[in-house]
Structure formats: C-alpha cells, structure tokens
Structure 1
C-alpha cells in the first residue's frame, strides 16, 4: 500500500530531477525590481513570444465553444489582422491600454493576444459592472480603445466616455476580414514592462487595478509547463517541450479573472493544449455535455459550481472518464464540503485539488494535491513552483511553524503593483518585493493552513466583495445615517451580502428602495440580498471604529 509519505518522497525526487542543475526547470537567482528571486535562466522574456512560438501547433484546437472551433493557426491569423487594426487605425503601441469589456468569447481571447503583440496593456474590465463602475475603470486606466460585446455596448450609453468602441459581434469580424493576410509584427518590451490590468475589490472602496508584468504572465506559463512535466513524471513519462500536451481545459470562470486568463488561456500557448470556453450562466448539464463531447481532462471550478454538481443527482449519465484533474479555486471550502464532493461526484474522488491564490499573485500560491487533501485535511498544500512563502508577525518577522501570522509571498508571479495607486502598492509590497496578503495562517509540515481571511472580505460564488464599497454606496442615500455590510452563510454561494442600515429620524427608505438604489450603482453580486433596517447606532470600539464582530443581521 502506498502511503502519503511514500508519495511525498517520490514527489520530492521527481521535483529534484526536474529542477536540478542543467534540468528543464532549473532555478537561478537574479535581481528583479531590486530583490533577488529565483527565475528560470532559459525563459521567454515577453508574452508575445508565447504567441509566436505557438505557430508550430498549427491545426490543433486552441479555442472551442459549444458551436465554434478555432485552431492555433486560425487564431494566429485573426490576431495578426486585429493587431494591424489596432496599430494602424487606432494608434495602439507599447504601453497604451486597450480595454476589454465582455462575457467569455473567442473574440475576447483574440483581442487579448492582439494587444499583447503590440506591447500594449490589456485592461480586463469586469463584465458584471454597472455603468458607474465601468466609468471608474475607464477613468482610472484611460484606454486608447475599448472592445465590448453587444450587451455591454448598450450599457455604455450611460457612461461618460469618449473612448473609441469596437464591438465583438459586428466590428471585429469585419475588421479582421478586411486585414486578412496581415503579417504579425511584435513590439519590443522589457520583462518588467506592464502586460495586463485586472481589477480586484479594495478595502478602501473602489476596485483597484492589479498591474501584471510580462514576466508575471510568462512565469505563470512556465509554472504550468512544469506542472505538466511533473504529471508526466508521475506516469513514468519524460517531458519534451517540443511535444504538445493532449490536455483539454474547461474554462468556466470569467476571462477577466486570473483563473481563466493567466492560468488557462495564456499557458495553453506554451503547451499546445485546447481551451474549451463555457459561455453563459452556469448550468451543470451544459458543462458536463462539454466535458463528455470534448473529452475534457482539466477543470477548475469555484465552490458554487461544485455545490451544484453535488445537488445535480445524475452526473453518472455523462461520460466524465476523461477528467483527471478537478480543482477548487477562487474561494475557500471546508473539509466537510470537499468530503461531500468526493463522495457524490465521481470524477472528484481521486482528482480533487484545492488551492490558495490572489489576483495580486497571478496564479496559485499553494496547492493541495489529492494526497494532501486525504492525509492533511484543512491544509492548502505547499507553496507552488517558484514561490517563497513566510508567515510573519505584526513586526514583520518570520515566525516558526504552527505560529499564526500574516501570509507573505515573493515570486516572479507577484504583480508590479496597483495601477496609479502608489500608496496601496507600498502598503502591500515591501522593498524586498514581499507581498503582504492580509490573510492569516500557519504552516503545518510546510503546508499552509489559513486561519482568517483578509479582514472583512465577503466571498460570494467566487467573487471577492469588500464591504466598504457597498457601504460607501448606501451612505449616499439621504435617509441613511450609517450602515454595515457583512457576509452571511449561504448554502450555494458560500456567502451572501447582508446590510444593516441605520435610517435617519424621519427617513422613509425601505428595503425595496435601498435595494433599487444599490442596484443602480453596483454590480448585481454586490447588492445586498438580506437587509436589517434600524434606528439604533451601530456598535463602535473605543477609537470610534465600527466593531464589525459585534454586528449581526
């Protein structure tokens, strides 16, 4: 019988073989932005190098939806044509921002790679935003052109902007056809030049733009190549970078999240694998039909999707035998939930993986393999390839194993900082390039165990929601004296948003009015679904700060 210790010993020997001197994934220390961190000596230096090297994959599937299929070669032609449009018609060049505001679609991916070819910065705007939020994102990043789908184009009538707009349904197909046959030209960029801006909710209110570098995205692709090599080694096979991977990935999270963009769409250029894009509201039957039809091997789902798999009750009517890796991401899940998942979802029994990561880190920080979940329940595994992780006390000093402190990480995956927000950047990343996550935990045998999340974060169906933004919105209502927004347990979403609102004397606002007020100003998932209206002041501590721990619905 193979024990967890046996598996760990074998894993250690394989990792040593893959990362030792002269090996494909040897790590050496180099100075990066003033700090010495481990990097691959033989690496690509720009995101567009992934695009050009993928030409060798030719007619292999790159992007697949329920009704479309695009090969690597077809994708390269479309990217070359659209890059020519952006460069020649809109003057997009190195460092310019190009906004994308749309649901998941093939055109989203084509627009992304065209932007990268030009050395421009892709701004992935949250497709669930309402006009006020869209306006904030556009004002902050000042894109030279904005690419949208029809649904978001309609929202722009309520946004004060003069940014040129291209639609995915009408403009992109026409313009790509007009430039058919264009040669792909790429711009010269540095490793630590910006590549992507993705938004993350902020403790101080409006969403912040996490700025990722060329190095960040290329390093994530290399991490995925390493993971593929590790998996091959476990099966007794040798890794050959010239041989494309037969893995096929189901993409079910939005493309404006790192889970989909950085960790599925970008790395597949390095591995030659297919990306099967799920579109529209999540439906178990539609997702499993794609798994069966496309022989999906890898699927990363948020716990809400996993919970719906548990509730489905008839998964066995689908052929899911191809699924060899099923991972949970974007939100924490309990030991009991993972046990239920393994008991009731056939493909989760031996393939379940859990992880911990942040938008600011581009990819996972720690990953729990099936052996970790079985032998060390409640932990999130060891730090991934290339990540240094420390637990630090309030003075910033590293603590011993078993002692609780703040999770701090340093790696080539850590963002450059927050776009146009040096104060927030300085508060998160220190002079030695350690990212202070604001999450708290311990190390247990080298494995991370989280003990508390970033102060007031609400995790609803995989979306990060900070109360401050919602509270500031509700405070704008003339009848609101003060309010507190908290997360309440929800059986499907993990948490739902709840608001406790203090109404002014003589105020007439009711729940329906406040809900409509918030819905005009916030994305639907941020609008509180539960309310308590009161005239009693909220509890505060001795310094006058709101005592959230004493507030309940």
Structure 2
C-alpha cells in the first residue's frame, strides 16, 4: 500500500491464528432445497482455495476472468490480475477478446450468452454452479479454448470434482459424468444411492446443527472407475406406472446438437400417477423439425423412461447461479398438457 510507505510506526506481529475457527457463513441458493446456512472454518476455506489453485494453476502477470471468491483469492495470491466478467454478453465477448485470459470461470448461462454473441475463448475455461453439458463444453473449445472443464461443487465443499470436455464427451453411459474427486476429497454412496462427500474443504457444520464430516449432497450417483457419475437429484424422482424414474440418468442424452437445455419433469396426472415431459430449449437458429428428428434416437433408447410429451420452450432459470428451475419447468409443462399439447 503506497500510503504506508515510510511509516515510522513499528509493525505489530499478528496474533496466532486458530485455523479451526469459524470464518464465514454462506447460504445455499435454495434452488434445490430450502436454503441452509453453511459454516466454513479458516481451514476449510484455505483447503478449498488451495485445491482451486492446484486445479487452475494461475500464472503471475496473466489475466484471469472470473467473479467468484474461489477464483479471485487464489488468482490474486498467485500474482495474476483478475477481471470481473461484464454483465452484458456483448461486452463480455469484447472483454474476452481484449484480455485473452489464461483462465476463465463463467457459469453455464454466462457461457451460452457469450457464445450467442460470437465470443472467442483462450487458455482454459471452467464452468460450474449449474449443470454443464458435454455439448456446451465442446462449443467452448470450438470457440478457441485450449481446455474446457466442468466443475462439480457445492456451497458445502468447493470444488469436489472436475472433468474436461474430451472425457465428458467420451462418456456414453447413462448419467452425468462430473469427473474424479479432486485431491483430498473422498466420495461414497449411501444406502439410498445418495452421494456423500468429505475432505479438508468440507464445511464444518450447518448453523445451529452439530458438526458432521460427511456432506449429504442430495444427488444420486454411482462411482465408475473412481469417477463420479450423477444420476439426478433424489427429490426429482418421477413416479410413473409404479416405476421410479430419475431424470438425471437420461437428461444428458437429450443434449443433441442444437439443444441448449433439456429437463425431464413430472406432471401430476390426477390419479396419483405422473406424466413425464421433456422440456427442450432449442439453441439460437435451431430448426425444430431437425431437432425432433435428432431426438428420436435418444428418446427411443430411454425405453420405459421415454417421456409422454416433448415440449420445445425456454427452460426457466432461478437463483444466484441461474440454475434450471425444475418446479417452474414442471408448471410450464402442466400448462402445456392442460391445453392438449404434445409437441
């Protein structure tokens, strides 16, 4: 700090630091469940930022573009200048071109909006806070990125896993591959199939609750050769014809070229059963007849989980990270079915 140069007062050594002391309370977004107050300690924050630094490897003097705490602090500590992303997609595209950042962190909605404005990328691009399809990561690499990574993270443990576009695109099984647990992160599944995580970066507790080393993610998952494959939120299960259908198993297959977003939601049928609707958001300029044809194969492979109807519409988003809003999407699908629509 230039204003302190030449100060005559003697420096006072800092007090000893308790690394296990509470450092910050962060509320979850509330888009997947009721908001909860997450308590992190100094040590859990430090572990999370150290993981980010090891993953992103910011180099001194080269710009990093990103607006989250876990991007800002490790980058600045590594000597890299940080630019906050412009809110306007058009300005953001110009910002990317001017800065040529070594690393960029944007949410999936920000990426889609920037790509729609013809943005070009450089270096390594990271995205998270909401689901990122293999198709979106592929488009980012086609727009100039050397690498395009999807990051799986929670308010309770950031970051937990990461996957590069090439590995994600090569995954041909069901579910959403989010990558291997990052160093220090331990993953297992509970008896119900829920993904449980722990590690040095895990939150200490929820405010007002007892500490618990394991974070219950609310996501169903399986471990495939040490990699995490998400199978959808447990609470998003749709019950149709006495069969449990987990949308997260099948939604990645709906992201064919030309599809921006796709969700499977249940709509009450009035007899205790549900109808399954695929809500598909076409990309800019995508022709719907061509999309219908492209979707036929993945729909046919769903077997008993094939939706009762396919609706082309814009998927509602909510929360600070602009995640797809399933409840609002289900209401949209219900209105569509009420007027007798099918496609």
Classify the TM-score, shorter chain.
0.5 to 0.7
SS in structure 2 at match of 1:414? coil
- Aligned residue for 2:36, secondary structure, equals strand
**Structure 1 residues 146-225: aligned runs within 5 Å:** 186-202=14-30, 207-225=35-53
2:97/2:119 contact within 8 Å kept: no
Distance 2:165 2:32 in 1: 37
Which residue in 2 is equivalent to 1:271? 78
Match of 2:177 among 379, 402, 411: 379
Q: TM-score, normalised by structure 1?
A: 0.40
In structure 2, what is the equivalent of residue 411 of structure 1? 199
Asked if the contact 2:198–2:215 (Cα under 8 Å) also holds between the matched residues in 1, the reply is yes
The answer to whether the 8 Å contact 1:217/1:266 transfers is: no
Query: Quick check: 1:251 aligned with 2:66?
Result: yes
Displacement of 1:206 in angstroms is 5.7
Q: How does 1:417-496 map to 2 (within 5 A)?
A: 417-419=205-207, 421-422=208-209, 429=212, 433-453=213-233, 455=235, 495-496=315-316
Q: What are the superposed Cα offsets for residues 282-314 of structure 1, whole Å, 9 maximum, x if unpaired? A: 2223223323333311111111111113322x3
What secondary structure, in the 3-state scheme, does the structure 1 residue paired with 2:98 have? Answer: helix
- Residue 415 of structure 1 and its aligned partner are, at CA, apart by 0.5
TM-score by length of 2: 0.62
Mapping of residues 52-67 of structure 1, within 5 Å: none
Given the alignment of the two structures, is residue 368 of structure 1 paired with residue 163 of structure 2, yes or no?
yes
Change (3 A) 1:182 1:380: farther
2:197 & 2:79 partners in 1: Cα distance?
30
Q: Which moved more, 1:207-216 or 1:265-274?
A: 265-274
Where in structure 2 are the equivalents of 1:86-97 lying within 5 Å?
none
Shift of 1:393: 1.8
Counterpart for residue 354 of structure 1 = 150
5 Å-filtered alignment, 1:127-146, equals none
Aligned pair in 2 of structure 1 residues 389, 531: CA closer, same or farther (>3 Å)? Answer: closer
In the TM superposition, what is the alpha-carbon distance from 1:333 to its structure 2 partner? Answer: 2.6
Partner Cα separation in structure 2 for residue 410 and residue 494 of structure 1: 36
Query: Structure 2: how far apart are the matches of 1:214 and 1:204?
Result: 27
- Taking structure 1 as reference, are residues 347 and 187 closer, same or farther at Cα in structure 2, changes over 3 Å only? farther
Q: In the TM superposition, what whole-angstrom CA distance separates every residue of 1:434-475 from its partner, at most 9, and x where no partner exists?
A: 211111111222211111125259xxxxxxxxxxxxxxxxxx
Secondary structure, aligned partner of 2:195? strand
Between Structure 1 and Structure 2, the one with more strand by share is: 2
Q: Structure 1 residue 315 and structure 2 residue 143: aligned?
A: no
| RMSD after superposition | 4.0
**Equivalent in 98, 101, 125 of residue 326 of structure 1:** 125
> Normalized per residue, which structure has more helix?
1
Shift of 1:189: 3.1
Secondary structure of 2:178's counterpart equals: coil
State the shift of 1:390 in Å: 1.1
